Amino acid sequence: MQKTYDDLSQIDSILKKGGVMLCPTNTIWGLSCDAYNKSAVDRIFQIKERDPTKKLIILVNSIEQLKECVESIHPRIETLLEFCNRPLTVIYPASPNLPAYLSTEINTVGIRVTKNQLLIDIIENLGHPLVSTSANKQGVPFPKNFNEIAPAIIKDVDYTCYAQRNIKNAGRPSLIIRYNEEGELIFLR
């Protein structure tokens, strides 16, 4: 019988030691690590051969955890997060509550409240957010399913969520939005 859920204690141990994991999100397969471990974040950039000025998305497990990461959330954004069915990454002003290396050169961060139960549980066990990015080399199309992930990516990570490999996710990245002071939404992707 095939195992349907990955070992959370093993994942937690690997992430706390600075490991990088390959796992499905509610959008596409991604590379993730502890957002508070700079060497792990740097490894993701190395694995992807990604320009470090292109920052990673921060994943939180709830709106409550999001509120711990940013200084304020516009009420319209909070309502949108509650009711939007499509995965949604919101660009916020950088906050002293997050490590500076996660913010862009224009002092912003992209944060998504995940609805993937495995990631919710991993973040809960870890006690703080993850970073995430698509499981591909920079410039190569992102994988829509596990079978499209390059063997080199799988080889370079410390943990692969094999029990989740047949999970059907959205197969497309999240919407990315930001908002202005008036609460007007600007769709970036």
What is the Cα–Cα distance from 144 to 151, expressed in whole angstroms? 15
pLDDT-based confidence at residue 166 (cuts at 50, 70, 90)? low
The tens digit of pLDDT for each residue in 97-150 reads 999 999 988 899 999 999 888 899 999 999 999 999 999 998 888 887 888 899
Contact partners, residue 176, CB within 8 Å, separation at least 6: 89, 90, 91, 110, 187, 188, 189
pLDDT at 3: 45
pLDDT at 106: 86
pLDDT-based confidence at residue 187 (cuts at 50, 70, 90)? confident
Report whether 59 contacts 33 (CB < 8 A). no
Q: Residue 102: is it exposed, middle or buried by C-beta count within 10 angstroms (0-12/13-18/19+)? A: buried
The tens digit of pLDDT for each residue in 135-150 reads 999 888 888 788 889 9
Which residue in 7, 17, 6, 49 sits closest to 137, CA to CA? 49
Torsion angle of the four alpha carbons 133, 139, 145, 146, in this order, in degrees rounded to the nearest 10: -80
Which residue in 147, 142, 141 sits closest to 162, CA to CA? 147
Q: pTM for the complete prediction? A: 0.90
What is the Cα–Cα distance from 127 to 69, expressed in whole angstroms? 12
Domain boundaries defined on the chain:
8-187
Indicate the fold that domain 8-187 takes in CATH: DHBP synthase (3.90.870)
| Mean pLDDT, residues 31-44 taken together | 97
What is the Cα–Cα distance from 57 to 111, expressed in whole angstroms? 6
| Mean pLDDT, residues 159-182 taken together | 72
